[in-house]
Amino acid sequence: MADIANKYPDNVAGKYYVDNQCIDCDLCRETAPANFTRSDDGGYSYVFKQPGTPEEEAQCKEAKEGCPVEAIGDNGDQA
């Protein structure tokens, strides 16, 4: 389960985030490319845009559920 205390600072504020358990498997970037991207320097994914449509919300939820190491959280700031 993702831990908000360990989320990467690259994540934009909002519901979804990626924490330091990310293994850079690319699943979230393939599932929700409009919301997740890769830190080339750090070798991990992070949320660069919170979902803005029902389709993006569904894709982010699918990415969270499919994450093999449970590095995606959905209890971030609702800002």
CATH code of 28's domain: 3.30.70.20
- Predicted pLDDT of residue 35: 98
- Predicted pLDDT of residue 40: 95
Note the pTM of the prediction, 2 decimals: 0.94
Structural domain boundaries, residue 12 = 4-73
Q: What is the pLDDT of residues 42-61, one digit of tens each?
A: 999 999 999 999 999 999 99
Q: How far is CA 47 from CA 61, 63, in A?
A: 13, 11
- Assess if residue 42 is contained within a domain: yes
- Assess if residue 78 is contained within a domain: no
Tally the domains of the chain.
Answer: 1
- Predicted pLDDT of residue 79: 43
